[in-house]
Amino acid sequence: MAQIIDGKLLSAQIKEELKEKTKILINEKGIIPGLALLLVGDNPASKSYVSSKEKSCSELGFKSIVERLPDNTDEATVLGFINKWNADETIHGILVQLPIPKQIDEQKVIQSISPKKDVDGFHPESFGRLVIGLPGFVPCTPAGIVEMIKRYKIPTKGKHVVVVGRSNIVGKPIANLMYQKNPDANSIVTICHTATSDLSYYTKQADILIAAVGVPRIIKAEDVKEGVVIIDVGINRVEDSTTEKGYRIVGDVDFENVKNKASAITPVPGGVGLMTVAMLMQNTYKSAAGEVL
């Protein structure tokens, strides 16, 4: 059976390291890392992500501000909060939870965040820096994936990484990170997406398969080769009447069957999702400490 890449353990370690570094930053420089979070609407998954980000801030000794706005909020109101936080010296990171309702232009919101406080790494300036290989904010889920691969010492040089999904949040940035010429990457990268007619043809060639599709258990055992490393980014709710909530969370990968063929695999839950929050905390700490831009 595959080695389990334990996101729960790793994220706890990273948060513990950050908690110690934060104490030092506060004692020596008087800087308390500050994160502003904005949530529009009542998407249940988004609400739960924002709450866990808020909770992590308090665990680490960060300041956090959370604005929860109704679904019919207009664009000007959102931009108003961002402008206020851009000018607030006690705020080092600004995050607008995505997706946001349709009446609000997502790109306009992303681009209104100061690149100096872009802890989500979604601003075109951050993405451009990532592609060129310059220092900058790396989006949290891709940063978490890189950290998992690194801490589990998974070889990447010359390996074939197949990314399924081309979202701005995960697929595009992780693909661009994995071919960079540095010791944590240096891979050969293929990106599959909705126009890929024979997905299995590509996934079977992967040494490292990164699934970021958003379709429950779409990757089956027959779609992967023996010894593959599986990074499952999917967080999908499926109905389950045996649970208290009436649903349960599964990944994009059929974990129970794929684990017998893989050499290492991230579980869902307990994998990449927890790393995303840890990396957001890391980006916010680095912003406060002046380590990024």
The catalytic residues are: 53, 97, 120
Of 237, 240, 243, 234, the C-alpha closest to 266 is 234
The label of the residue with tokens 């499952």 reads 232
Nearest distance, CB of residue 100 and ligand GUN, angstroms = 9
Does position 140 interact with ligand GUN (CB under 6 A)? The reply is yes
d(CA 187, CA 160): 6
Pick out residues in 88-127 that bind ligand GUN (CB under 6 A).
Answer: 95-98, 120
Length reported for the chain: 293
Does position 282 interact with ligand GUN (CB under 6 A)? The reply is no
Q: Which is nearer to ligand GUN, 120 or 254 (CB)?
A: 120
Q: Which is nearer to ligand GUN, 159 or 171 (CB)?
A: 171
Nearest distance, CB of residue 168 and ligand GUN, angstroms = 10
d(CA 233, CA 80): 33
d(CA 134, CA 116): 14
Pick out residues in 237-266 that bind ligand GUN (CB under 6 A).
Answer: none
Nearest distance, CB of residue 261 and ligand GUN, angstroms = 28
* Closest residue to ligand GUN: CB criterion: 98
The answer to whether the beta carbons of residues 237 and 202 sit under 8 Å apart is: no
Does position 162 interact with ligand GUN (CB under 6 A)? The reply is no
Q: Which is nearer to ligand GUN, 119 or 258 (CB)?
A: 119
Helix (H, G, I), strand (E, B) or coil at 153: coil
Does position 141 interact with ligand GUN (CB under 6 A)? The reply is yes
The answer to whether the beta carbons of residues 208 and 190 sit under 8 Å apart is: no
Nearest distance, CB of residue 118 and ligand GUN, angstroms = 10
Q: Which is nearer to ligand GUN, 96 or 189 (CB)?
A: 96
Pick out residues in 167-206 that bind ligand GUN (CB under 6 A).
Answer: 169
- Total of residues contacting ligand GUN (CB under 6 A): 9
**Amino acid, single-letter form, for residue 49:** Y
Q: Kind and range of the H or E element at 196?
A: none
Binding mask 32-61 for ligand GUN (x = CB under 6 A): ------------------------------
The answer to whether the beta carbons of residues 213 and 234 sit under 8 Å apart is: yes
Does position 288 interact with ligand GUN (CB under 6 A)? The reply is no
Does position 236 interact with ligand GUN (CB under 6 A)? The reply is no
d(CA 40, CA 96): 8
Of 77, 69, 65, the C-alpha closest to 42 is 69
* The pair of three-digit structure tokens given for residue 208, joined into one six-digit string: 């490292």
Binding site for ligand GUN (CB under 6 A): 95-98, 120, 140-141, 169, 276
